[in-house]
Chains A and B, each alone.
Chain A
């Protein structure tokens, strides 16, 4: 084996040699000495290879990848080229001369510094990436463990899975819709109210409320990151805009303007093709610009610049050009754009004014602030909703027309009535000033009507409100009333006061909307610090409360069952002794009668006989193999000899002792009944660990013959229930009360995921 290998290596070596020699020989072909030297070397190698054939003193041949390493054209052998050059070798000659001390120092310093490690190769890095990713994924997956476990062990699963109602209403909300009707109820509530019992106790403190709304830490972090990003982007754009604004070159601005105009035109064309409605809107905007122009006459020759130019125009061609440009622009702007719908000038004017009231830019700014950042939007709407929820139970549902006023109310702080009313007045007056307009929309018209009516009422209201207590809740109610009509206000207020159940009065805890808003603002910051488990505990407690009474009722039910099924032994013991004596006599009589009836048959003897027979039957029998007439005379009346019989009789072995040997009154049949065996389970089935367990399950009947209706229903509930014709969707995190990550997978991919996060790097280092 080794010989063959050595031969192979030899061959390979020779080939290599030839290959190596080729380039060497090429430039040196003139000198024969070198060629000879090469020949000698070859010879040497051959000798070495042959000597290594025996396999004993095989030594590692020096491997070379480059021919010029060992043999150079300057005939300098580079022996020891494989050794590394150490810095100290270089320093050796330096040691002697003291003048080079500084260099020495520097070199020493260099020596002490560590070299940077080589980066891992690509496969290794990828492997580590994969491992880290896998760990992360399996961590996120293991949050499903409890749910999977629960679903596997569930008695019953009903599909499609519905989201459980995790949101619970605080007790004050529940109570708001409920009024004490009967005198007893009223009395009780009065009593409770005095002690501030049911109202104040379960009310949530502001902190609790905030914690209910809180999001998880992870989500908060993500949100913060998003916000940061948005802020960074914004500042970047601002800086850019500032920079561009600073550019003084007229040409640049001209070009920019032209470009913009062109772009706008193109966009408009596109829009007209794709979305005619939006194009119409665009047209309206143009119309508005025209109107502005007509109002301001900015581009006519009235301005300062225009006047100066007008003077220059006679002499300066450029100035004339500029003038003409401006006039053209004016014309262009004032030119009427044909809109599909007949847009009258008056209407336009109105619109303009309307816009003045609520400037477009404000809305746009809002849009830009909220648009790219869904987080902010959500929070905003959430707050609004919250406020509404707070309000709803207390206020009667409003008709659509009053929605505007409602929203105003939301904004308004409700702390002091005076301030509020003043504000109300101011606003109204402002509106009056701004528009003596007859709004086209019926909704707003109604609003104004309400306003006018409110003005009349105002004085009355103020007087009234001063009388009333300063409870904010009531104050709000009044406002609502004022927004409607005088009559209704007057009617409602006393009624409201009278009817209001004592439960609804919340002396200390009542919160103004202002406070609430503050709270909600704080909420997003507080939530990070709030420990979640505490929150959950609270929820749990609350959830447990209603379940406790249920349990009680369950227990009671079970008790009832027990009473039904088990006989009560106490009945007998309670019997009166006199009756017992009577019974004794009766028993004696009965015994006598039975004796007389069965006088003829001896049961005990029969039984004993039966048992004896059974014992006999079960005993193993001897086998008699004697053949009568074999080896001796046979015939009628002749019997085989005793010797022969003894010889061919095979005695059966003694069987195991009978189980009923010591039980005189019992016959135990030890034979297996084949008929029954066909219906019997032979091996203990899998989930059971003991046969008793299994037998117990078999023994308890589940049919309605043996169980009450309810027990029967409970025992026969199917494991999986599906609704026919309903699509069952895969389980969702929201279904089981988890928050699913709100970020879409797509957005995550699109941000370059290949970059390592800091945590990854750490893990990488660890590995």
Chain B
């Protein structure tokens, strides 16, 4: 007689060691797990809501300056160190982990116009209204020593900006023209100019390091090639560009912060049309800085807020503001791509999280998987109206809110007028100009 017995292979359920995970047999038959879409939808909705609940981006305010903060610089080797220059000529070096000021230098008389660190982090440069370029050591003077710059270069005109080369001992200043300096020399190696106007900022390309971009007050952005010592091309926009920033991951992409409340991302090989127009600010954009991942950038505006834009989106994903923050003059994204610093008119430097609802500190693996899953869910259901509404909801100060409304109306009116003009004129006589092309006046070869 045959005896039927239940028999199981112990390999299927016995752990080899104590530390092994318990094997949980699961049946993935879809009939056993119904309503996958609604269930995931609810999860996504909850995740979105929780994200808004936990969105507390403000971390710290570094106070100590006695005038508005005019410029910021990151330390290339240390994440905790930040340098700032104020409108009274004072330069401070901060420690972000301790949130205090390490060192104070009275660097210039009048504004500190620009500050930049050397690529190795051993020293930094400042330019000021007193027509000087000064090089300082990064670590403070020893006991009994006086605080003195390593080098001082006296110029003939005011320098309005400075940037350091990413690999070599070269830096560039701007003012009436763009000067390239060797660190060892007291006169520029070469100076490049195209037209006569005060240039407000100059930036080295971080990837192809011989490229420079500058923006001048006659509304143009000029690109230079340092090796050939010649300007390359010039694009004239509707209004003045305050500063530009190169994408650290894409050699030919840069973003310009404009006075007309917009930011323009250009491919430098095709300057006649910006790749993207980023619009959300309600006042002049004063500064812009890319995230080191090259996927997003942050912009500081005169409207007392900073906004974070994805590179490929025209609308911002985040806006930061506080009651006490006045016009934001400078902004920087830290080089671990986790934090944002902004310096504003009311003498404070503020530290924000780049991702408002991110949990700081070490995550357990379960937390990590949950975070990833929630993120993916939010992405998946981002177009659903409820989720979209919650995810997009931001509290804004009244001034910005009303400005947005006003500008929406203005824009709508302009659009309506354009449509009417198009409708009532001979077909083809009124050209349809796309939003991207509208702001570019000319490209000069």
Does chain A have a CB within 8 A of B145?
no
- 1/0 per residue B237-271: CB within 8 Å of A? 00000000000111111000000000000001100
Q: Which residue of A679, A720, A750 is within 8 Å of B293 (Cβ)?
A: A720
Given contacts A716-B372, A728-B336, A744-B167, contact A753 B228 (CB under 8 A): yes
Across the interface, which residues of A come within 8 angstroms of B252, CB to CB?
A: 138, 141-142, 144, 148
- Whether A136 lies near B228 (C-beta < 8 A) is yes
Does chain A have a CB within 8 A of B318?
no
Does chain A have a CB within 8 A of B380?
yes
Given contacts A722-B338, A725-B79, A753-B227, contact A701 B372 (CB under 8 A): no
Residue of A nearest to B382 (CB): A685
- Whether B232 lies near A159 (C-beta < 8 A) is no
Does chain B have a CB within 8 A of A754?
yes
Across the interface, which residues of A come within 8 angstroms of B253, CB to CB?
A: 148
- Whether B207 lies near A745 (C-beta < 8 A) is no
- Whether A157 lies near B293 (C-beta < 8 A) is yes
A374 → chain B closest CB, angstroms: 15
- 1/0 per residue B384-413: CB within 8 Å of A? 111000000000000000000000000000
Cα A226 to Cα B189 in complex, Å, equals: 22
- Whether B293 lies near A681 (C-beta < 8 A) is no
Given contacts A141-B251, A753-B229, contact A722 B336 (CB under 8 A): yes
Q: Which residue of A718, A729, A745, A753 is within 8 Å of B372 (Cβ)?
A: A718
Does chain A have a CB within 8 A of B28?
yes
Q: How many of chain A's residues have a CB under 8 angstroms from any CB in B?
A: 65
Cα A705 to Cα B372 in complex, Å, equals: 15
Does chain A have a CB within 8 A of B95?
no
**Stretch of A126-134, A181-189, A322-330, A464-472 lying at the B interface:** A126-134
**Stretch of B29-37, B130-138, B420-428, B431-439 lying at the A interface:** B29-37
Residue of B nearest to A149 (CB): B250
Cα A728 to Cα B207 in complex, Å, equals: 13
Q: Which residue of B167, B189, B362 is within 8 Å of A750 (Cβ)?
A: B189
Does chain A have a CB within 8 A of B225?
yes
- Whether B249 lies near A151 (C-beta < 8 A) is yes
Does chain B have a CB within 8 A of A572?
no
Cα A753 to Cα B169 in complex, Å, equals: 19
- Whether B229 lies near A724 (C-beta < 8 A) is no
- Whether A703 lies near B209 (C-beta < 8 A) is no
Does chain B have a CB within 8 A of A107?
no
Q: Which residue of B248, B250, B372, B445 is within 8 Å of A131 (Cβ)?
A: B445
Q: Which residue of A134, A701, A707 is within 8 Å of B233 (Cβ)?
A: A134
- Whether B293 lies near A134 (C-beta < 8 A) is no
B314 → chain A closest CB, angstroms: 11
Q: Which residue of B169, B373, B383 is within 8 Å of A703 (Cβ)?
A: B373
- Whether B248 lies near A749 (C-beta < 8 A) is no
Does chain A have a CB within 8 A of B375?
yes
Q: Which residue of A148, A723, A745 is within 8 Å of B209 (Cβ)?
A: A745
Residue of B nearest to A142 (CB): B269
Across the interface, which residues of B come within 8 angstroms of A717, CB to CB?
A: 372
Does chain A have a CB within 8 A of B58?
no
Does chain A have a CB within 8 A of B231?
yes
- Whether B207 lies near A749 (C-beta < 8 A) is no
Interface CB pairs A-B, < 8 A, 23? A133-B228, A137-B232, A144-B250, A679-B385, A680-B385, A681-B384, A681-B385, A698-B37, A698-B381, A705-B39, A706-B36, A712-B373, A716-B372, A720-B295, A723-B336, A725-B79, A725-B336, A730-B207, A744-B167, A745-B209, A748-B227, A750-B189, A754-B229
19 additional contacts (CB under 8 A) given A126-B230, A749-B180: A129-B228, A130-B445, A133-B228, A133-B230, A134-B232, A141-B208, A141-B252, A144-B252, A148-B249, A565-B30, A678-B386, A698-B37, A698-B381, A702-B376, A722-B338, A731-B294, A732-B207, A745-B210, A749-B229
Question: What are the 5 closest A-B residue pairs judged by CB atoms, nearest first?
Answer: A730-B206, A728-B292, A730-B248, A701-B36, A134-B232
